[in-house]
Amino acid sequence: MSVKTFLLPDLGEGLTEAELVKWLVAVGDTIVIDQPIAEVETAKSMVEVPSPYAGTVHELHGSVGEMVMVDSPLFSVLEEGAAAPAVHAAAPKASVPEREVAQSYREEERAGAKAPAGEGSGNVLIGYGTPEGLSAKARKRRPRSGAAQAPAPAVHERVAAVEPRRAPLVISPLVRKLARDRGIDIATVSGSGPGGLILRSDIDVAGKSTAASVSVPEPAAVPAASPAAAATAPGELDSRSGLAISSRTPITGVRKTIAQAMARSRTEIPEATVWVDVDATNLLQMRASLKATNPENTPGILAFIARFVVAGLQKYPALNTRIERNGQGDAEIIGFDGINLGIAAQTDRGLMVPAIRNAQRFSARGLNAELARLTEVTRSGKATVAELTSGTFTLNNYGVFGVDGSAAIINYPEVAILGVGRIIDKPWVVGGELAVRKVTELTLAFDHRVCDGATAAGFLRFVADAMENPAAVLADL
């Protein structure tokens, strides 16, 4: 066949579907290898899907706002030099050789993802590539049935015909985007993966060895399309309430992922909650004093609280753990050499929790800068999967919504979450006398399997004391 059909790749992290946000091309457009074709949104992030083929856009499969399943056709390309089909048929099914190609790339990328530490995270989008990059072993595979044998020679002929234009062996849209953002010509990068596969670590190495970096502007952020309300028959009544049903909204994308995670948290985690009121007057006064002398580089209140939380987790590491099953099916508490502090952020796409990785290495100023950066990339839909899934403890500032407290749900699979309420004027006893102070409420929900109340209370009291006497604590950090 002269028409190549691109199947939506496995987008990683066990995701099986993505929402089609925007087509970047139209039928009849001429495209080149690596040109972005569509923007899709998973439950984790927004992703540009580049084309592994050059030619003319033959068909776009799916409409904006539609959910596309992994391994379903996304778009078709009429390769350069090929004659257009006489009849514009329905979306062609991928042939057996094409499916074997896709499977080969999945195996190669997974092999690359198992690289030793220091050679890249392996946390890439998988299942993506061009037939020209197949290993010799993959090219020699037999079709699974006799009926599929006839097209095989044509596949090899096309490979030979385009050999002079052979695309770099890279199967991850994330790796391609990383190279684009750093101004690196991916054709000049040598792959360290199986068969010359280009991994994220290869882009990192190429970036370090490049003297000048070309800045490539990011495409304008496209707000996620809200799930369309399904059509409701006029006059349809709800059998339980007797009221007319006004709409039916499918639970998809981010909302579906949030719902599943929250349900799993409530089902699996026996959580307990402790809380305390805190006099934050001294913390606000200290920050005001710093801001008066250095207005451009003074951390926000949340950054100071984040620093106290990190110090508290170093003192009470049981709250910076995770429970997993070992090979024998027995539960184990997994501890970490470091703290990835998740920060709950409300976005147009829903509640997201990007994490400041190795937060223990940052000062309050450093945490403030990371908070600003992560909030920006998360709200624009450009946070990476690693940033959105690597947290080990979550800090949630729901005070910005004007509430004092909340029975927060633990961000599964973590074991604890600390919430901060609004800071308001309240009567408070200071030195035996009544005074008006700036008071907030801290609430800690924790997994009772990893520790008892004494540990949770000790951590909560440490953070509260640090907020009430910040100068003394910061002097030791």
Catalytic sites, residue numbers:
448
- Cα gap 253→243, rounded to integer Å: 28
Query: Helix, strand, coil proportions of the chain in percent (round to 5)?
Result: 35, 20, 45
* Alpha carbon 94 to chain centroid, angstroms: 29
Q: What single letter denotes the amino acid at residue 56? A: T
Q: How far is CA 245 from CA 232, 235, 237, in A?
A: 7, 7, 6
Give the length of the chain.
477
Q: Side-chain half-sphere of 116: how many Cα atoms within 13 Å? A: 0
Q: Are 59 and 91 in contact (CB under 8 A)?
A: yes
DSSP-derived 3-state class of residue 116: coil
End-to-end Cα separation, the chain, in angstroms: 65
The secondary element (H helix, E strand) that includes residue 106 is helix 96-113
DSSP string, 423-463: -EEEEEEETTEEEEEEEEEEEEEEETTT--HHHHHHHHHHH
DSSP string, 177-236: HHHHHTT--GGGPPP-SGGG---HHHHHHHHHT-SS----PPPPP-PPPPPPPBP--TT-
Helix (H, G, I), strand (E, B) or coil at 341: strand
Positive or negative: CA dihedral 400, 401, 404, 408: negative
